[in-house]
Amino acid sequence: MKRFVAGMITSWSVLGLAVLAQQAASEKIRQPQLLVDNQKVKMVRWSLQPGERSPVHTHSLDHIYVVIHGSKIRDFISRNGTHDDDQETGRAAYSVAAGKTHYFQNVGTAPYEMISIQLK
């Protein structure tokens, strides 16, 4: 009986680890495309398919962003939890985000594309 219980526990443990590994592998982290980085400005393009997310990053400067193709975005903020936002195509905004550590994920059904502009 002890062997049976030990075998069951081992089987469930292996199955649980396999499921977690599959979830981690299915989460796609997409790096931004650096467009410009000089003494005056840094511009990056973010393109996320549904389910993809940005890497964790910290903003050292406030920035302006322009949404090229909108979708529903979930922002994971280190201090404040999560925030969902329907970012519509054409939105342009100024973000006071210096020191903000976060990542964001496209939880919508459409591809998402945005350009972020940091003035140095």
Q: How many CA atoms lie within 13 A of 70 on its CB side?
A: 10
pLDDT tens for the chain, 120 residues: list them. 555 444 444 444 443 334 333 444 456 999 999 999 999 999 999 999 999 999 999 888 889 999 999 999 999 987 778 999 999 999 999 988 778 888 999 999 999 999 999 988
pTM to 2 decimal places: 0.74
Strand positions, DSSP E, 3-100: 33-37, 41-48, 57-58, 63-69, 71-77, 81-87, 92-95
> Which pair of structure tokens corresponds to residue 31?
């790096």
pLDDT on residue 1 = 54
